[in-house]
Structure 1
Amino acid sequence: MSFIKVLDEGYVRLVDHMGSDLTVVNAARVSYAKESSELSDRDIKLIKFLAREGHTSPFRHAIAQFEVYAPLMVCRQWWKYVVGSAHYEGTGDSLDAWNESSRRYITEEPVFYTPKANEWRSKPENSKQGSGDIISWEMGEKHTRELLSYIEIGMQKYEQALADGICAEQARLFLPAYGMYVRWYWTASVQSVAHFLMQRLEHDAQKEIQDYAKAILELIKSIYPVSIDELIVRENG
């Protein structure tokens, strides 16, 4: 599997990858001029040791590349993992790259995330961020209608601006931003992906980005099952 649908219109696609769990092992063993040709129990023990003891540089030799299509509110939460991409141990630069589609250059039909009536959540009782329980269907249905109406108005103004000859990079100002889908490539080391997963799979992470994190986990575990499991266990304490 290399493609997982997320939310109403979004998805995560595994585009490419470099290496395997064996890559991690051989990166660690090169210090002793040793190399394994296939993963053994001894190699798995080495991966466990590396993760447990925080010897993380070998995990940065294994790389995964994803294409993500998600609402802007998810995209901007995700982006901070690239902004702060020097690894948290202070061990140097990470292998992270990010390239995002731009409405300065394209005018493809905008797509917006619209929660259904039974998907709107209440504000939490004891926190300034996050969300609580699902609100009543009646209230949710009201806000779905309100959002659709808001999107329609923005689209009309956007299309009119383009028709009037306004450049795409300014016409996009009329589009409701946070729910608009954007597309990007994310290339990251196994260590970086594990760090992202541990934070965005937590119960208090925003549900929408949790859904994307679950998709990333399913895809990357098919390539680096031992490394991902061990890094997540280590970060989870």
Structure 2
Amino acid sequence: MLTVLDQGYVRLVNHMGSDLTVVNAARVSYAKESKELSERDIKLIRFLAREGHTSPFRHVMLQFEIYAPLMVARQWWKYVIGSSHMEGTGDSLDAWNESSRRYITEEPAFYVPGAGQWRGKPENSKQGSGDALEWEIGQKHTDELMRYIEEGLRKYEAALADGVCAEQARLFLPSYGMYVRWYWTSSLQAVCHFLDQRLEHDAQREIQEYAKAILELSEPLFPHSIGELRRPNGEA
């Protein structure tokens, strides 16, 4: 498990397959199977990735538990929605199960940037962020956010005390910075697609940190497949 941001984390729960799984999935049509990964097998992985023959990479699966602010979760969710189109299967090979405050009333946790973590607007884009703001401005907004969260928590707890159901009381909680927990199960191809986009320099800083954690946990398991799928522009 790797810690991300102030209170978040990514935990590798389970995985299925290896680089050898990719090789054997590709060779099954010839009724051939490798017992150990060879240099010839590594070249095959490189060929499959370079030529866009991606179905063998979908026989490898990873499962993560993720605890992240809602703003990160909602960016992440679109990879589940889009995976059926990206993989060309008609059905998504991603699964997502998220904790719900309809059923639980565990103490809410919130992402609060420190005084030196607030970023300004980008100079040449309508979205994203630029350089860090001055410490004094950042401290002002950290304090404002804390007050806002405290007020929301007070109203949430008062609603629960009055007997309001959890699924309605949660309306008082400030949403975008609130931490949520979910399981994400995905094919290796879909994981690499997520990494390609969310490790880019112009991706939101917070989700970049989660993508780095996903890569750090995944790469030792599938070093050749991830390396080739993420090789820019099919470089040799």
TM-score by length of 1: 0.97
Q: Is the 8 A contact 1:82 1:96 kept in 2?
A: yes
Q: Which sections of structure 2, spanning at least 5 residues, go unmatched?
A: none
Q: Is the 8 A contact 1:195 1:235 kept in 2?
A: no
Offset at 1:94?
3.7
Offset at 1:91?
4.5
Verify: 1:233 aligned to 2:205, yes or no: no
Corresponding residue to 2:86 among 83, 88, 93: 88
SS of the equivalent of 1:123 reads coil
Q: Which residue of 1 aligns with 2:166?
A: 168
Q: How does 1:169-184 map to 2 (within 5 A)?
A: 169-184=167-182
How many Å separate the matches in 2 of 1:138 and 1:75? Answer: 29
Q: Which sections of structure 1, spanning at least 5 residues, go unmatched?
A: none
How many Å separate the matches in 1 of 2:36 and 2:98? Answer: 37
Q: How does 1:106-145 map to 2 (within 5 A)?
A: 106-145=104-143
Deviates more, 1:147-156 or 1:78-87: 78-87
Deviating above 6 A after TM superposition, structure 1's stretches of 4 or more consecutive aligned residues are none
How many Å separate the matches in 2 of 1:235 and 1:30? Answer: 27
Verify: 1:224 aligned to 2:222, yes or no: yes
* Deviation string, structure 1 residues 139-184 (Cα, Å, up to 9, x no partner): 0000000000000000000000000000000000000000000000
How many Å separate the matches in 2 of 1:187 and 1:209? Answer: 18
Alpha-carbon spacing, 1:91–1:53, altered in 2? closer, same or farther (3 Å): farther
Corresponding residue to 1:50 among 32, 37, 48: 48
Q: Is the 8 A contact 2:95 2:186 kept in 1?
A: yes
How many Å separate the matches in 1 of 2:193 and 2:115? Answer: 33
SS of the equivalent of 1:55 reads coil
Aligned residue pair count: 235
* Deviation string, structure 1 residues 62-105 (Cα, Å, up to 9, x no partner): 00000000000000000000011214263443411000000000
Q: Is the 8 A contact 2:116 2:132 kept in 1?
A: yes
Q: How does 1:64-103 map to 2 (within 5 A)?
A: 64-88=62-86, 90-103=88-101
Letter of the 2:209 partner, please give it: D
Letter of the 1:230 partner, please give it: E
Sequence identity of aligned pairs in percent? 76
How many Å separate the matches in 2 of 1:159 and 1:91? Answer: 45
Q: Which residue of 2 aligns with 1:154?
A: 152
Q: Which residue of 1 aligns with 2:8?
A: 10
Alpha-carbon spacing, 1:197–1:235, altered in 2? closer, same or farther (3 Å): farther
TM-align CA RMSD: 1.2
How many Å separate the matches in 1 of 2:94 and 2:70? Answer: 19
SS of the equivalent of 2:141 reads helix
SS of the equivalent of 1:86 reads helix
Corresponding residue to 1:206 among 204, 207, 216: 204
Q: Which residue of 2 aligns with 1:23?
A: 21
Q: Is the 8 A contact 2:81 2:92 kept in 1?
A: no
Corresponding residue to 1:39 among 29, 32, 37: 37
How many Å separate the matches in 2 of 1:166 and 1:73? Answer: 26
SS of the equivalent of 1:118 reads coil
Letter of the 1:212 partner, please give it: Y
TM-score by length of 2: 0.97
